[in-house]
Structure 1
Amino acid sequence: MLAHPTLELLHTLGLHGLAKGFKELEHKPEARGLDHAEWLGLLLEYELTLRRQKQFETRARAARLRHAAAVEDVNYQSPRGLDRALFLKLGACDWIAERRNLLITGASGLGKSWLACALGQKACRENMSVLYTRMPRLFADLAIAHGDARYGRLLRSFARAKLLILDDWGPESLTPEQARDLLEIIEDRYDKGSLIITSQVPVDRWHDMIGIPTLADAILDRVVHNAYRIELSGESLRKRAAPPKPAPEKKV
Structure 2
Amino acid sequence: MTTTSPNKRLEELTQKLRQMRLPIMAAQLRAIYTEESVDSRTPLDLLEQLVTEEFYTRKQNAIDRNRKKAKLSNTTAHLGDIHHSPERKINAQVLEQLATNQYIYSQRNVIIQGATGTGKSYMANALANHALEASYTVRYFRMTELLNELHLAELEHEMTKRLKQLTKVDILVIDDFLLTPTSELEQKYLMEVFELRNRSKPLILCSQMSTAEWHKKLGGGAIADAILDRAISNAYQLIIEGSSQRRVPSTGSKNND
Q: Taking structure 1 as the reference length, what is the TM-score of the superposition?
A: 0.87
Q: Name the structure 2 match of 1:237.
A: 245
Give yes or no for the alignment of 1:4 onto 2:11: yes
Q: 1:209 aligns with which of 217, 226, 233?
A: 217
- Cα distance change on mapping 1:36 and 1:188 into 2, 3 Å: same
Q: 2:176 aligns with which of 163, 168, 173?
A: 168
Could you tell me how far apart the structure 1 residues matched to 2:93 and 2:59 are? 27
Q: Percent identity?
A: 26
Could you tell me how far apart the structure 2 residues matched to 1:207 and 1:59 are? 34
Q: Name the structure 1 match of 2:108.
A: 100
Alignment of 1:1-252 (within 5 A): 1=7, 2-79=9-86, 80-241=88-249
Which AA in structure 2 matches 1:13?
A: M
CA deviation after TM superposition for structure 1 residue 44, in Å:
1.4
Could you tell me how far apart the structure 1 residues matched to 2:48 and 2:77 are? 30
3-state secondary structure, aligned to 1:108: coil
Equivalent residues of 1:176, 1:212 under 8 A apart? no
- Give CA-to-partner distance per residue, 1:37-56, whole Å, 9 cap, x none: 11211211101101111221
Report how many aligned residue pairs link the two structures.
243
Which AA in structure 2 matches 1:130?
A: V
- Give CA-to-partner distance per residue, 1:128-151, whole Å, 9 cap, x none: 222111101112233344343133
Which AA in structure 2 matches 1:65?
A: L
Could you tell me how far apart the structure 2 residues matched to 1:168 and 1:83 are? 21
- Cα distance change on mapping 1:171 and 1:13 into 2, 3 Å: closer
Which AA in structure 2 matches 1:155?
A: L
3-state secondary structure, aligned to 2:203: strand
- Cα distance change on mapping 1:75 and 1:24 into 2, 3 Å: farther
3-state secondary structure, aligned to 1:68: coil
Which AA in structure 2 matches 1:38?
A: D
What are the ranges of 5 or more consecutive residues in structure 2 without an aligned counterpart? 1-6, 252-257
- Cα distance change on mapping 1:9 and 1:116 into 2, 3 Å: same
CA deviation after TM superposition for structure 1 residue 105, in Å:
0.7
- Cα distance change on mapping 1:21 and 1:78 into 2, 3 Å: farther
Equivalent residues of 1:17, 1:49 under 8 A apart? no
Greater shift, 18-27 or 201-210, is seen at 18-27
CA deviation after TM superposition for structure 1 residue 170, in Å:
2.8
Q: Taking structure 2 as the reference length, what is the TM-score of the superposition?
A: 0.85
Greater shift, 224-233 or 146-155, is seen at 146-155
Which AA in structure 2 matches 1:126?
A: A
Could you tell me how far apart the structure 1 residues matched to 2:241 and 2:225 are? 27
What are the ranges of 5 or more consecutive residues in structure 1 without an aligned counterpart? 244-252
RMSD: 2.2
Which AA in structure 2 matches 1:64?
A: K
Could you tell me how far apart the structure 1 residues matched to 2:77 and 2:22 are? 29
